[in-house]
Amino acid sequence: MSELTIPSGISFELSDDERMMIDSVRRYCQTEIAAFVKAHGAETYIPTEKMRELLKGLTEFGFVGGPIAQEHGGLGLSWKTFGLLLEELCAVSLSIGITAFIQTMVATLAEKLLAPELRDKYLPQILSCDAIACMGISEPDVGSNVVEIKCKARPVEGGYALSGEKTWISNGDYADICICVARTGEAPAALDLFLVDRRESPFDSHNIHKMALNATSTAQLFFADCKVPEQHRLTQNGQGLRQVAGLFGVSRPLVGVFSVGVGRAALEAAVSYAQERKQHGKAIAGHQLISGYLAEMATKIDASRLLVLRALDLLDRGVRCESESAMAKWFATELGVEVTSLALQIHGGNGVTCEFPVERLFREARVCPIPEGTTEINKLIIGRGLTGIAAF
């Protein structure tokens, strides 16, 4: 990727170390991860122990610990650098990319919220991927409006008992640890975070079959009077909601990265196909409409990447950027659908067969406008930022 500097003074220039890191992640993903995906099947479910092994392999390349401070066992990378690493993984396997992303998000919450004793116990397990983690927010009746969460945390002797159901939870079936948002009072905002160690506080899970990304776990979780110790309550006085909102600030542009990665894979496939496929006496890349489609795809991917990097750069500099994160998320994920659709179109009839990757990339891209705030919710956030009036 060429140097990215935009006139506002924001520079995406990478240090030599960052550049080397991205190059080695690219090599690892394009050889080791790609070879695994080819042999295993891009859409075949990856069992827990195999996923753990893959995650452990990725930790050597800045995953999970990348954005964690060095004094806590991480690498202290910027979000911007982590985003570029994630793009490399998502361009090869979005399923594995999502799993690594969620693990990283939970690591950042654990770093921030766990008391020192608990942090010393859990953060190393998450960073090494000895424990796979998930984040339980959504419920069957509660998606876009998190203040309606019903899962309850009832005080019991020595701690709390969690009761309720979570759904769409990435890594849910794999998870040894869940950071769960639960209601601690009747007031709408009385929501707090709890660390549930499944090995000590068991809960059930059930994988959900989706239109794409079935190589990784997206699951329903069932908490039936699941007892967690007092010190596993990570927030007090309804601060859980504020922490979730803070997490979305980072996770939204990173979901935008999913689509940049998938879009890039689709562009690469479309370029090769357009160079090789001949119709009307020449390679279809020599037909102006196809050349135009490729140009449109490349431009949309670059525009998405720039918005994503802008949001990550603001986060790195500690600048409040709720609207910029929301812009990056909705724009990159919606454009990912357009880009992968064009890649499929360029492949003609072959595009709709499983022999070529583009139909899978199209299905994967279509999922991305939904998690971490739908396109509609992200536009409402931007609208609220512009007018000061919430239109939810």
Binding site for ligand FAD (CB under 6 A): 102, 134-138, 143-144, 168-170, 218, 367, 370-371, 374, 376-377, 380, 392
Beta carbon nearer to ligand FAD, 78 or 216: 216
Q: Which residue is nearest to ligand FAD (CB)?
A: 143
> Minimal distance in Å, beta carbon 262 to ligand FAD?
13
Beta carbon nearer to ligand FAD, 109 or 290: 109
The CA distance from 24 to 29, in Å, is: 9
> Minimal distance in Å, beta carbon 216 to ligand FAD?
9
Instruction: Name the burial class of residue 172, with classes exposed (0-12), middle (13-18) and buried (19+) by CB atoms within 10 angstroms of its CB.
Output: buried
> Minimal distance in Å, beta carbon 109 to ligand FAD?
12
Beta carbon nearer to ligand FAD, 73 or 164: 164
> Minimal distance in Å, beta carbon 114 to ligand FAD?
19
Beta carbon nearer to ligand FAD, 75 or 175: 175
Beta carbon nearer to ligand FAD, 211 or 289: 211
Beta carbon nearer to ligand FAD, 112 or 277: 112
> Minimal distance in Å, beta carbon 391 to ligand FAD?
7
The CA distance from 63 to 60, in Å, is: 7
> Minimal distance in Å, beta carbon 362 to ligand FAD?
15
